Amino acid sequence: MAAVENALRGAGVEPLPPITPVLCFIDADWPLISPPDVFRGVRLEGPRSLRRRLAGDALDDAAIARLARVLAAALPPK
């Protein structure tokens, strides 16, 4: 989370968008009743719930594309 915030600040992104740490579990077996949703401040999501959460964000397509470019440059894969 700090790396994302630092990358965005370093690129001059103002105001910063909301930054929420998330772990997405692809093949997890969650309990049907009351599955966990947060652990120590980190959101726990599956692909469907993550898709719903992201669909609710208020960022437009241009802002998302800009943030993606900034983060891809600042945090390249190893």
CA distance 54 to 73: 22
What pLDDT is stored for residue 55 in this prediction? Answer: 74
pLDDT at 2 exceeding the cut of 70: yes
Q: Give the global pTM.
A: 0.71
What pLDDT is stored for residue 5 in this prediction? Answer: 95
What pLDDT is stored for residue 53 in this prediction? Answer: 79
CA distance 23 to 50: 9
| Residue in the structure block whose two tokens are 């930054």 | 19
* Interval 27-70: pLDDT, tens: 877 777 877 789 999 999 888 888 887 777 678 888 889 999 99
Question: What mean pLDDT do residues 1-6 have?
Answer: 94
